[in-house]
Structure 1
Amino acid sequence: MTMRLRSLLVLSAVAAAAFVVVAEEPAHAATLPTGARSLEAVNQAGRYVRHADHLARIDPVTSSSANQVKLDATFTVVNGLASPNCYSFQTKTGLFLRHRDYRLRVDPNTGDATFRADATFCAVDGSVSGSVALTSYNYPDRRIRHRDFALWLDAYQDTATFRADSSFRLAAPWAPRNTKGPVLPGLFADPHIAVFNGRYYLYPTTDGYAGWAGTYYKAFSSTDLVNWTDHGVILDHGPDVSWADNSAWAPAVASANGRYYLYFSGGAASGSTAKQLGVAVADSPTGPFRDALGRPLVRADQFAGGQTIDPMVFTDDDGQSYLYWGQGVARAVRLNADMTSFDPTQARVVTPAGYNEAPFVFKRNGLYYFMWSEGDTRSEDYRVGYATGSSPLGPWTARGVVLQKRLEVGIRGTGHHSVVRAPNSDTWYIAYHRFAVPAGNGTNRETAIDRMEFNADGTIRPVVPTL
């Protein structure tokens, strides 16, 4: 298939998107295709948005161009860092397209509010059918425009020349899929993986925010763990949760009573910085979810010691579900049949040696596995340890570290994992986050999945993280 034909296929999808108006944001396309794309100037055929020495411009790119040129002209389209209704554009090296002093460039994501806004753009109709123009999130009267082949953020002018200079075609990516890429496009951490009705689902923390101050959760699904469908935002703390408006961390989803329950951590942007646990409910694994209680499921002050984050639910063969949570101290309690309440007098501390956060429990061949993350998520030494036991509440026998960094291939900070069994098999997978390769850190993380295998005695073989 030629580059032009592939481009037209992408364009046809974009042209079919509906347009909506969101309060305090410019009119924008309801959907743009996420994933790797290149952007061609509509009035400079063969010239594509490209970064060179961090500055953005439009340059010629052809099939005979150097690989580096093709890489520099390829971006991953992700939900906007400042608004999930808009878009951000990430380079193959993990930088983001942003404006600074009205000049377009690519820079490392600092995660602060200013950077997020500078790196977020909303899509509107371009000058020709199927093309798009990109308005600034924080300067909605300005659009990305090329002048003398350099890219600037210029005030909108109602002229044919300006509309053409600010319009781009979304084309198939010049660079092939990055073998070092994550399973999800963009920055996502703390992935919870599950199987519902024979299909895999991933529920991660949306990453890339200073202080991990993201506000919303997304859902992705797949039949093969390779090709993932983006189902969009399933819960947003801002409009959907009355008691939390930031710190949307580490979700987990369980199925019961013919419904789906999303357990999540949340905090307030003002007042106390303490985090609390909530639960939301939906009729579909892709939501939309609504806050089931209108208040926290577990309050920050309800139990002494540890931080109230990182919920996880395990349901045993008899149908009894257990809630686990905590940073610094691990707690567990039986959930009532409604999945939204429990007897707090029955909560118990189950903290194993080496535990820091992210508890995860599963069962295989009658043996229970209690797993967790050790160290700080900002450290390259962040890793996964585990123990085994005879019941969902222990007692537990420590088994050691099962997943850790591989510096020789640039993999760091492997942790906050979850585990899933392939339907009707004894094949298991572990989903986890790592520092984004190659330039990530503890707030710029990406999601990976690898096989997890067992020895004959039921112990887990060390997982070798792969690119």
Structure 2
Amino acid sequence: MSYKGPEPRRYPTAPWGAGDSATAVESGKLPAIRPIWDVHIRDTIVCLGGDGFYYMTGTTGDNCWAFNDGVELWRSRDLKTWGYLGLVWSIDRDGTWEKNWTARAGVPFRALWAPEIHFIGGNYYICHCISGVGIGVLRSTTQRPEGPYAHVLSDQPIKGGIDSTLFEDDDGKVYLSWGAGQRIREIKPDFSDFAGDWQDLAFDDSGIDPKAKKNGQPLRRVGFEGATFFKANGKYYAGACNKDEGRYSFWFASSDKLLGPYAGRHEGPPGGGGGNLFRDKAGRWWQTFFGNDDQMPFREKPGLIAVEFDAAGHVVASADQPFKPFA
């Protein structure tokens, strides 16, 4: 990808695919897995579309900490072989407020982070954020995952922050959240506007290790970024990325109600932070992976961990992992 900013670039290339210690595997915290595809990607997201295909996106570009081109998309029928659908939404071609360059540490900056693709109500939606500016939601104008896509809810940043996400409840109601997932807001069925105000989620931090609390204060979130929501076995799950012992992972908590209180905070399979959980066509649960730290078996490539729920309702890795390393 070529840089088209106002000044010569002064950014290092991300060290994707670099050698890693894999200590999370050696310690038994993470099953041995391999990348599902050889592509540089962070914040891996996989969605089952209405046509029976799986769609994958995420943060792309070798200089994605500073700049990239937009939203790239891949497609697979079986989660094993992926085809590239291209740059389905371009900052320069399709963006409005996203086009503006800002400065970070005195150098040009414009990075689209953590896009998510969702299939909702017969159409495809993409959440995205421009770091340092705000979040937005796009909708396909053709009901096809390739787009084109146009803004919904607002043609300006919906709010400041990063890591926007959508959640569709069993009754068809759709909600937007972002960042650490501490607040949600219902969206009207036609995505013309919001159906109400932002609502705070409640968290029950009883039984949580005091070390997880800052200065003994109540814990009012699951993690600090990368919010995700899903429902399994009649329970709502709120997830967000957190760091523990140097691992960047999803942490989860569950509740009987969407607004909480969420309890049972726990670390999911390590390395899965900045992604999502989804069910495949056979009903099996998967957690996406990209390997953010050197405890992982690989770095900044898409991976999938087969997961299940233990007796406590915690997200744990399944014993059988289809994407084991090749012998």
TM-score normalized by structure 2? Answer: 0.72
Shift of 1:184: 2.9
8 Å contact kept, 1:455–1:461: yes
Structure 2 CA distance for aligned equivalents of residues 184 and 333 of structure 1: 35
Corresponding residue for residue 455 of structure 1: 310
Q: What do residues 88-121 of structure 1 show as CA deviations (whole Å, max 9, x unaligned)?
A: xxxxxxxxxxxxxxxxxxxxxxxx55767xxxxx
Q: Which of the two has greater helix per residue? A: 1
Structure 1 pair 311–260 and aligned structure 2 pair: CA distance change class (3 A)? same
Q: Which runs of 5+ in 1 are unaligned?
A: 1-79, 84-111, 117-178, 268-273, 301-307, 405-412
Structure 1 CA distance for aligned equivalents of residues 289 and 296 of structure 2: 18
Q: What do residues 60-108 of structure 1 show as CA deviations (whole Å, max 9, x unaligned)?
A: xxxxxxxxxxxxxxxxxxxx3658xxxxxxxxxxxxxxxxxxxxxxxxx
Structure 1 CA distance for aligned equivalents of residues 12 and 296 of structure 2: 17
Alignment of 1:261 onto 2:160: no
**Bigger-Rg structure (1/2):** 1
Corresponding residue for residue 322 of structure 1: 175
Shift of 1:213: 2.4
Corresponding residue for residue 137 of structure 2: 279
Shift of 1:311: 1.1
Structure 1 pair 390–189 and aligned structure 2 pair: CA distance change class (3 A)? same
Q: What do residues 205-262 of structure 1 show as CA deviations (whole Å, max 9, x unaligned)?
A: 1142163422311111112111011111111112211101332111122233432211
Corresponding residue for residue 240 of structure 1: 94
Q: What do residues 412-432 of structure 1 show as CA deviations (whole Å, max 9, x unaligned)?
A: x5521211111242x111112
Q: What do residues 262-283 of structure 1 show as CA deviations (whole Å, max 9, x unaligned)?
A: 111025xxxxxx3211111112
Return the letter of the residue paired with 1:330: Q
Local SS of the residue matching 1:375:
strand
8 Å contact kept, 2:53–2:76: yes
8 Å contact kept, 2:305–2:317: no
8 Å contact kept, 2:153–2:194: no
Local SS of the residue matching 1:238:
helix
Match of 1:295 among 155, 163, 171: 155
Alignment of 1:339 onto 2:191: yes
Corresponding residue for residue 260 of structure 2: 394
RMSD: 3.2
Structure 1 pair 439–353 and aligned structure 2 pair: CA distance change class (3 A)? closer
Shift of 1:450: 1.3
8 Å contact kept, 1:243–1:294: no
The equivalences for 1:73-112 within 5 A come to: 80=1, 82=3
Local SS of the residue matching 1:211:
coil
Structure 2 CA distance for aligned equivalents of residues 334 and 208 of structure 1: 35
Corresponding residue for residue 44 of structure 2: 191
Structure 2 CA distance for aligned equivalents of residues 439 and 365 of structure 1: 29
Corresponding residue for residue 385 of structure 1: 251
Shift of 1:394: 1.5
Q: What do residues 9-40 of structure 1 show as CA deviations (whole Å, max 9, x unaligned)?
A: xxxxxxxxxxxxxxxxxxxxxxxxxxxxxxxx
Shift of 1:181: 5.6
Structure 1 CA distance for aligned equivalents of residues 301 and 59 of structure 2: 10
Return the letter of the residue paired with 1:251: P
Local SS of the residue matching 2:65:
helix
More relative contact order, 1 or 2 (CA 8 Å, 6+ apart): 2
TM-score normalized by structure 1? Answer: 0.52
